[in-house]
Each structure stands twice: as C-alpha cells, then as structure tokens.
Amino acid sequence: MNANRQQLIFIHLSLLLALLLTLIPWPPTVQLFMPHWTALIIAYWSLHDDGRRVLLYAFAYGLILDVLMGSLLGKHGMSLVALCFLVTKSAKQLRMTSFWQLLMMVVVLLFNDLIIRLFIDWVSYGYLPEWQDFLPLLTVILIWPWLNYILDRIYAALRHR
C-alpha cells in the first residue's frame, strides 16, 4: 500500500514537472523545439501503468494545462485523453516491441496528438499550421529514450523497495 502511494505521488510529481517544463520561458529558438512534455509523460504512464486511472489524470492535467496556457478549455484534455487511450489499448504489444519500434510508435502517437490540437486550433480560430509546428516531433526522438530510461529506473526503485 505504501509503495502504491509512493508510485501515485511519483506519477503526479512527474506530471507537475512536465507542466512546469512546458511553462518555463525558454529562449525562442529552444521554444520552437520544445516537445509536449505532458503528452510524453502521459504516454509513458499509460504504457507502464494501465491498471491505474491514467485516463482521468490525462483529462485533469489537460484541463489544467488549458487554463494555464489560456487555450480553449478542453483542447489539451481532448488530445491527451486520445493519446492515453491509444497507448493503453496497445500497451501490452508496445511493451514487447523493440526499442526502435516503440520509439516510432511514440512519435506516431504524438504526431496524432499534435494533429488533434492543430485541428482544434483550425476549427476554433482558423489557425493554419506551419512547418515549425512539427519540429517538436524531432526533439521527441532524442528525448523519449532518456525519459523512458530515467522514469524506468525511478519506477523500478520504488517498486522494489
């Protein structure tokens, strides 16, 4: 029970950290390449922790992100819930696949998430996507392995205590 609670705290801490990373004022060039941290973390947790209510967390943190970013209420919620559902659905297969396949799948799923957000922007205020909007996907390729590794290590340490 205690370990369980620690894991729960760890999930929330990582998600809060993702929110902070999204909102920190980076220099404009770095900002262009900034991955959608919350989506990465949600993807990780829905991959490794399907027993929990990650879907609800995705929804809640999506709404908080919307309020913080001043976007349409529910925009990030919708994209994160979709991402979480898709990952949870195929979590068993994804955990079995090789490193590169998993990486490819994560990029594809995050691309889907990006498309949902761009579509909502387009419907709500006629925003037309530019090629710069897709740069974060490149950073994801670099960041995902490290993020996966670090979170795996901490998660394992918590489980085997």
Partner 1 sequence: MEALSQQQKLTHSPLFKFILLEFICLILMVADKNSQITQPLRNSLSWVAMPIIKVIDWPGQAYQTIEVAIARQANLIEDNNKLKQQLLESQLKVQQNVSLLAENIRLREMLATSQELPLKTSVAFVTDIAQTGKRQHIVINQGRRDGLYKGQPVLSLSGVIGQVDILADHYAHVILITDPNHVMPTEILRTGLRTLAYGNGHNLILKEVPTSAEIHSGDVLITSGFGGRFPRGLTVATLTDVSESPQRDFQIAQALPGGSLSQLTEVFLVWPEQVQAIP
- DSSP for residue 133: G
Give rounded-to-5 percent helix, strand, coil for the chain: 85, 0, 15
| Closer residue to partner 1, CB minimum distance, 74 or 145 | 74
DSSP for residue 74: T
- For 74, phi and psi rounded to 5 degrees? 110, -10
Nearer Cβ to partner 1 (21/154): 21
For tokens 């999930």, the residue is 11
Q: Does 132 bind partner 1 (CB under 8 A)?
A: yes
User: Among 52, 63, 115, 139, which residue sits at the site for partner 1 (rule: CB under 8 A)?
Assistant: 63
Tell me if residue 130 falls in helix, strand or coil. Answer: coil
Per-residue contact string for residues 70-109; x = within reach of partner 1 by CB under 8 A: xxxxxx-xx--xx--x--xx--------------------
Q: Which is nearer to partner 1, 6 or 71 (CB)?
A: 71
Q: Considering only 13-21, 37-45, 96-104, 137-145, which stretch makes contact with partner 1 by CB under 8 A?
A: 13-21
Which of 11, 18, 22, 35 is in the footprint of partner 1 by CB under 8 A? 22
Instruction: Determine if 64 is a binding residue for partner 1 (CB under 8 A).
Output: yes
Nearest-angstrom CA–CA distance, 7 and 1: 10
Single out the residue of 1, 28, 51, 146 in contact with partner 1 (rule: CB under 8 A). 28
Least distance (Å) between residue 76 CB and partner 1:
9
Measure Cα distances from 69 to 23, 44, 75, 105, 146 in Å: 8, 23, 11, 27, 26
